[in-house]
A and B are shown apart, each in its own frame.
Chain A
Amino acid sequence: MNASETVATADRLDRRRGRLVPLLIALLVFAALPALLAGFDRGYFYQIANLALIFVLLSASMHLVTGVAGLLHLGHAAFYGVGAYTAALLTSKLGLGFTVTLPLSGLVAALVAFLVALPTMRLVSIYFAVATLAIGQMLYLVMLNWVDFTKGPNGIIVTRGFELFGVSLSGRLATYYTVAAVVTLSVVAISRLSHSYYGNALRSIREDDQCADAMGVRTVRLKMEAFTLSAFFAGVAGSLWAHMTGYISPGDFKFSESILILAMVVVGGLGSLPGAIIGALLLILLPEGLRGLGDFRNIMVGLVMFLSILLLPKGLLGEVSALRLMRRQLGAAWRSTGKDQGTGEGIGWR
């Protein structure tokens, strides 16, 4: 078989495999689940379904930057917050509706990410992780303390629900469908980014960024893009959250939320988009399902995370072992001190 025939066969196989599963998922999300929700007709179930979907998007967007590009990001929830605050402020101060706030939330979050990434992107390994932690904390403190603008700890009431060009979509089922549609479209976009040659270039940075550099991959630029794109989708998720709950406060976007999203990606498996989605569903639905256990449920959730890291080093479906990635990143911090035998290169940046 020559090269072009091999290409054709591989393409055909890919296409056949690639149709059935998305169709089944679309049926589940847009037909079976809403039918079930309408059948139970309890607001609580709608809330859970919407929350799970929003976290699916947060987890999927983190998959892009941490799972695919291998950047340990500890401040993701802050960009989710930037998106939510953008939507809330545009609505309460300028009276804009969801049709406008949705794209703007993504763009503002991406812009903030781009600006903070400019000085951070040359940091390597654990130093980058610490920088993202600091960025997340800074953004959180701005939301908390800039009382004149963000109303600080009191939070903001978002007066308008979902709408499309003025048509209200604020009923329970309409709200669910809006969240589901936006999340599905975003996840499809993330899937296209991560399962492409572009995605392979990002993966090569995760695997060995110096070697990727030697293959012509513009590593700094691609890291910036992955970071900015993931913030865009986190911002979109923030807009969904703001219009869905009708009330946001800084507490929704604190460090522990970043860690929760990171845990979803790790439990599902670094580098796997289906893994990130399953991880999000697991860590949102499990605590809800375990409500009967009272205070013990958080111990159970912790146990699931602990065991999954211990027994499934690559998560449920991952490409890379989370422990090994983190160990390598920690190790790189030590290695870079001795790198190039005193060439005057700084510690921890490239």
Chain B
Amino acid sequence: MTHLLEIRNVSRRFGGVQAVGDVTAHVDEGELVGLIGPNGAGKTTLFNLISGFTPLSGGTVAFAGRTISGLKPNQVARLGISRTFQNLRVFPNMSVFDNVSVGAVGALPQGPLGALFGSLHKGGRARSSEISRRTWEALEAVGLTHAAAELAANLPYGQRKYLEIARALAMRPHFLILDEPAAGLNDTETRDLAAFIKRLHGQGLTVMLVEHDMTLVMGICQRILVLASGRKIADGTPDAIRSDAAVLEAYLGVDE
């Protein structure tokens, strides 16, 4: 059986630094996978390699049986991989609704002719209302319908996190990549977020997340990948990871 996402011998050098070296991993349809590792382990770089932000130095990435390495980020996105960013990147001078609609219109492009004459024919109207429907559904999923007209910059930090997820969901992705979704959230907010991610996963979405909050990762992920210094050092269930010697060594240092 082919995996949904297949990462084969992927590596990336930045000058003399090997950020990711020879990583092979996979994600199956319907999984909820965590990616952990000490600071500088190459987690975000790996995400950037998958989503097309950073070109690969070696190896291949395949999604749903199709090689995606070498594609532009927007091409990868339109194949059904949607992501959020480590350092919160909403569109500050746009309303909450408009922010989320960008995800929907990214997946269902509307061109200048569609904008000018779309309302005159059936196909154009259908596309507009589909974009609008996806936008409202994504807003509803994260509970931000009440703030639709608000400027994104005016939302509190926690809600901006959900706004970013809503924008990713409006693309109707098959595979969602979350880069440190809990960063900057307090314990209650993190618990709510964990429940929310579990609910998304329960609805059939395949999710991969980078996270520093161990309780969150151990609590919700079915499988965990561990990176250290750009290499994969472990891959297993949360229980297996907790007692893995290599992981303990990477996190706590060698016991002399």
Contacts and interface: CB of A to CB of B under 8 A. Distances in A.
Chain A partners chain B: yes
B67 interface: no
Interface string B87-98: 001011110001
Interface string A201-225: 1011011101111111111000001
Contacts of B44: none
Interface in A295-326: 319-320
Nearest to B117: A192
**Chain A interface, >50% SS class:** helix
A220 to B, nearest CB: 9
A6 B53 contact: no
B118 to A, nearest CB: 8
Given A192-B116, A193-B112, A212 B133 contact: no
A147 interface: no
B21 to A, nearest CB: 16
Contacts of A3: 133, 136-137, 139-140, 145
Contacts of B116: 189, 192-193
B54 A340 contact: yes
Contacts of A271: 93
Interface residues of A, number: 40
Contacts of B14: 340-343
Contact of A198 (B83, B114, B136): B114
A225 B112 CA distance: 8
Interface in A115-164: none
Given A197-B105, A198-B110, 13 more contacts: A193-B112, A193-B115, A197-B128, A201-B102, A201-B110, A206-B93, A210-B73, A212-B102, A214-B77, A214-B82, A216-B74, A216-B106, A216-B109
20 contacts: A4-B133, A4-B136, A6-B148, A10-B148, A196-B118, A197-B104, A201-B102, A203-B91, A207-B92, A207-B93, A208-B91, A211-B85, A211-B89, A215-B168, A217-B102, A217-B105, A217-B106, A229-B112, A271-B93, A343-B15
Interface of A: 1-4, 6-7, 10, 189, 192-193, 196-201, 203-204, 206-208, 210-219, 225, 229, 271, 319-320, 340-343
